[in-house]
Structure 1
């Protein structure tokens, strides 16, 4: 048996033959055009427009994170600044292939230097450039292969455009040599419920047709399995499918309840969450109402969407996060001032407080929707930093008739003062993505520091424990609604740190439900202590795994 190690996404396992993603197209050499500048310009623009239209078409066919990423790619492809760079090179008499290649490379370097949201988008340029070059050369763009039968996809990494439209009837599992637990590929794999192991560098030697076992629970790829091992994996996956088809309430092995909730981006996502056994909603992002608008939606428009959501979860808890704008989600009608470092600027509750009419209108719409439905509505403010902000928001929310008002804990300040924050708030919800970003001083959207963006880091876990302990002392719920909750082993650790509910992409619910059911409350605390005793994220993950029962 030969094993390759990476980071597993979820608890699933699968076996099947390998199909490798084609390698990137070779870079063109700089050559003078033989057909003239105008003809080359026409070729370049036709290719870019075709690629942009294809990306937008793919975006229209999917939802959630995949749609957001694909729409961003389509916009990048048609960026006027990028077009100007291509034109400048064409004016020198070069071919469209060289002009596109060199302009994209230069644009990529510029975005990387800017950092933040734009820095993360720089990584998407490689995929766009490859698609445009393929169009110019009249060849198929590098993408997901189709060998005509189910397969295990092996790639260096997957572009969002590829991941978004994976045929789940054919792709048994996904293995990448690059990337980590917070990469786009990992996030989208969780969202789609794909068995995946990412960052398995040794997978580079796997060949087409080679049978492998991909075990996400252990993060191992077995490249020489026996027939008995393959049969065992198939039985295990069949049992997992049965469990997913008959969801039960989340609980530890000793019966301690742990509510398993869904992260949703729009009311239309509710049906899938209910079908997968979500006990409610732990994070409903209201940005979808605002981001595509030139002005804030009316109270009536908001109320209609909130009613649709609440009706889908009649009698169940629904936690709605107020508009979280700023940083990577700027809104001209909320805050159009230039900020050198928007992640540390006027965002979240700060931005809402500066435009209090928008905050009051959102609270009005939510209160009216609550009165018209039977769901248990909880409302929370994003990016709360101080005790004073907590008191301000909870007081205002109650003034508008919101019965349960809480806060998002996403910065170390509110985590360290959780005792005082929870003296005012009815509940706290920990956003592990931002909490990790601010704890580790590592922009969550910047690929160059992605290695620091790991919620397993003991510094982050210590802050979670602060909030969990404060919640226990005050008798108030503490939820987790960041990507960390979708990691089955980390979910157990988070419960051991005091979390009373976990919210995640619906596809992750089954794996987390199984992981919780295998550990008692005492065992969860043992895993948490083991992770806290480590020096870094890798050590914390390994310590918790060693302390856990084998999955």
Structure 2
């Protein structure tokens, strides 16, 4: 028996034999083109259209977060810059296959060199390239293997198109060598409640037929487990299934203190599923979906219609909408098309909106219209806010345009350090733990090579959360959490102990977080938080909390 470690997604436990993803298609030969250039161009154009259509169709079939990811991949397949590059290479003598391979590889390398969010998207681009080359060769694209019996899927990484449509009756767990906690594999696995561990050192050593236990809560892959370990894993799996199937109630601690469980949503289409899983409102509605496919900003009328659709699904409940968070992995030509050496530290979030205030004014006007047209309790927040001056700017403008409740996101450490000033200006604060961890630990959140640093359990991150929680409590200002950290059940309890007044997450995580909160009182939560704060490392902080409250 040996044990491999990685980053767990959720708390699921599963066991079974390993099946590995097949190797990618061989690299196309460098032999010169012998056919007419127009024939090659026509074949590539047809392949690009077919792949884009297939990815879009998979997205519609999968729905939810997967649809947004696959729609983005479909756009990659017909990106004008890539198409022009492929065409130029064909004109220079390359075959269609080789031109696609080289053009996509060149763009992949550019994304990898940029690091951070963009580097993680390189894997998605590689999958698109493989699918196009397979079309040109007339062979199936590499995909998930088939099996008559359930299995654990092991891969270097998993393309969104494969993750989105996994047969969950057969694929009991995912193990990938690459990927960080917010890679597309992790995001889609979490949204589909798939037991998964990403960034697993030694995953390449696993072979077809190896029996493993995948414990996402512990972040471990146990190879060749004993009969007793397999039995324990089955028991734990049954316990978790019972939790997921338990009656839906509002989030609350064991002593009755309410902790609202809110949904992170990326599209109006996701609202109904969130309500069905017990969402008590929305803690983060991302508005980027309206802007990313456009060469110009959508009109106020277009925006208002979509915002109204989301608010109408939550009558009488809180819906927190984040204004456009563009930049970094979401560049928009009409907002900021300047090349930046490090986009994650560049003109993004509120900085970009402030430099293009007409876009911000249009968005706030549309939100105010949706607010007037529905019975939801609309809260609006600005992303990537650094200090009280930026807070004052946003809150003043939002209220001038009719927004009743205006707040800010805490993603930059400077905002936490200035929390005592910020809570006096903002109506609320929402902590984005993904970016807060990235900026605190100086570790690109999408880069697998520094995944060990991308852990919101780190006491440095928790101390910043406590600063925000303490400031909010002293001023009676709500401080919620809307990062993926809230989906970790035990960390959710710690966050409440640090002062979080609400928790927002992917709806698939509600059941486990609800059950964990119900096991602890307010005093328990504060003792767990204190133990985690006193630890020297992220691992030690988690272990201190797992040991349970003392006193």
TM-score, with structure 1 as normaliser: 0.88
Does the 8 A contact of 1:530 with 1:547 survive in 2?
no
Gaps of 5+ in 1: none
> Match for residue 189 of structure 2?
189
Q: Residue 493 of structure 2 aligns with which residue?
A: 492
Measure how far apart 1:419 and its partner are.
Answer: 0.8
Whether contact under 8 Å (2:181, 2:451) holds in the other structure is: no
Q: Give the equivalent residue in structure 1 for 2:306.
A: 305
What is the rounded CA distance, in whole Å, between the counterparts of 1:28 and 1:294 in structure 2? Answer: 34
Write out aligned runs for 1:104-143 (5 A): 104-115=104-115, 117-143=117-143
Match of 1:276 in 2: 277
Rounded to whole Å, the distance in 2 between the matches of 1:99 and 1:348 is 36
Q: What residue in structure 1 maps to residue 264 of structure 2?
A: 263
Shift in CA distance, 393/146, structure 1 to aligned 2, threshold 3 Å:
same
Mapped to 2, the partners of 1:43 and 1:350 lie a distance apart of: 44
SS of match in other structure, 2:148:
coil
The answer to whether the Cα contact below 8 Å between 1:15 and 1:211 also exists between their aligned partners in 2 is yes
CA distance in 2, matches of 1:217, 1:22: 27
Preserved CA contact (<8 Å) 1:182 1:450: no
Provide the residue aligned with 2:442 in structure 1.
Answer: 441
Q: Distance in 2 between matches of 1:110 and 1:133?
A: 20
Deviations 1:142-162 (A, max 9, x none): 211121343322222211221
| CA–CA separation in structure 2 for the residues paired with 1:280 and 1:227 | 44
Q: For residue 95 of structure 1, report the CA deviation from its aligned partner.
A: 4.6
State whether residues 181 and 445 of structure 2, in contact with CA within 8 Å, keep that contact through their aligned partners in structure 1: no
1:404 Cα deviation from its structure 2 partner: 2.5
Contact 2:368 2:402 in 1 (8 A): yes
For residues 439-474 of structure 1, the C-alpha deviation after alignment (integer angstroms, 9 at most, x for no partner) is 233444556655543333332222111101111211
In the alignment, structure 1 residue 414 sits paired with structure 2 residue 408: no
Deviation larger for 272-281 or 225-234: 225-234
CA displacement 1:214-262 (0-9 Å, x = unmatched): 2222223333445665455445434433433322222233433221110
Aligned pair 1:319/2:320, yes or no? Answer: yes
Q: Could you tell which deviates more after superposition, 423-432 or 14-23?
A: 14-23
The alignment partner of 1:306 has SS state of helix
Q: How does 1:221-232 map to 2 (within 5 A)?
A: 221-225=221-225, 230=230, 232=232
Range with bigger deviation, 324-333 or 280-289: 324-333
The residue that corresponds to 2:20 in the other structure is 20
Q: Where does residue 366 of structure 1 map in the other structure?
A: 367
User: Using a 3 Å threshold, how does the CA distance of structure 1 residues 184 and 295 change in structure 2: closer, same or farther?
Assistant: closer
Q: What is aligned with 2:252? A: 251
In the alignment, structure 2 segments of 5+ residues that lack a partner are none
Contact 1:380 1:406 in 2 (8 A): yes
Alpha-carbon distance in 1 for matches of 2:365, 2:263: 24
Q: Is structure 2 residue 424 aligned with structure 1 residue 405?
A: no
Cα 1:87–1:535 change in 2 (3 A) is farther
What does residue 162 of structure 1 align with?
162
Q: CA RMSD in A?
A: 3.1
CA deviation profile, 1:366-411 (whole Å, cap 9, x unmatched): 3343334332222222222221222233233334443322211111
When residues 52 and 396 of structure 1 are mapped into structure 2, their CA distance, relative to the original with a 3 A threshold, is: closer
2:170, 2:266 → 1: CA distance? 27
Cα distance in 2, alignment partners of residues 142 and 395 from structure 1: 53
Can you list the C-alpha shifts for 1:333-365, whole angstroms capped at 9, x where unaligned? 445555555444443333333444443443343
**Structure 1 residues 437-446 or 501-510, which shifts more?**
437-446
What is residue 61 of structure 1 aligned with on the other side? 61
Distance 2:162 2:42 in 1: 27
- After superposition, the C-alpha distances for 1:74-127 in whole angstroms (9 at most, x for unaligned) are 333333444454455545655544444344333322333344554433233332
Q: Deviations over 1:149-176 (max 9, x none)?
A: 4332222221122112222233222122
Which sits farther off after the overlay, 315-324 or 350-359?
350-359
Question: Relative to structure 1, is the Cα distance of residues 170 and 403 closer, same or farther in structure 2, using a 3 angstrom cutoff?
Answer: same
Q: Structure 2 vs 1, CA of residues 411 and 85 (structure 1 numbering), >3 Å: closer, same or farther?
A: same
Tell me the matched-pair count. Answer: 549
Structure 2 partner of 1:507: 508
The change in CA–CA distance for 1:452 and 1:219 in structure 2 (over 3 A counts) is: closer
Structure 1 position 330, deviation (Å):
3.5
Query: Quick check: 2:178–2:448 contact (8 Å CA) kept in 1?
Result: no
The whole-number CA distance in structure 1 between the counterparts of 2:328 and 2:4 is 38
* Secondary structure in 1 matching 2:374: coil
**What TM-score do you get using the length of structure 2 for normalisation?**
0.88
CA distance in 1, matches of 2:140, 2:372: 54
The CA distance in 1 between the partners of 2:286 and 2:519, in whole Å, is: 31
Alpha carbons 1:119, 1:447 under 8 Å: kept: no
1:521 corresponds in structure 2 to 522
Secondary structure class of the residue paired with 2:62: coil
Deviation of 1:70 (Å): 2.4
The 3 A distance-change label for structure 1 pair 119 and 221 is closer
Q: Is 1:178 matched up with 2:181?
A: no
Structure 1 residue 418, shift from structure 2 partner: 0.6
Contact 1:12-1:511 at 8 Å conserved across structures: no
Report how far residue 417 of structure 1 moved.
0.6
CA distance 1:109–1:224, shift in 2 (3 Å): closer
CA distance in 2, matches of 1:214, 1:380: 38
Any residues of structure 2 matched to 1:147-158 within 5 Å, and which?
147-158=147-158
CA distance in 2, matches of 1:349, 1:107: 28
Alignment of 1:1-40 (within 5 A): 2-33=2-33, 39-40=39-40
Q: Tell me if the contact between 1:182 and 1:453 (Cα under 8 Å) persists in the aligned partners.
A: no
Q: 1:174 to 1:118 in 2, by over 3 A?
A: closer
How far apart in 2 are the matches of 1:500 and 1:485?
A: 12
Return the alpha-carbon distance in structure 2 between the equivalents of residues 511 and 291 of structure 1.
Answer: 33
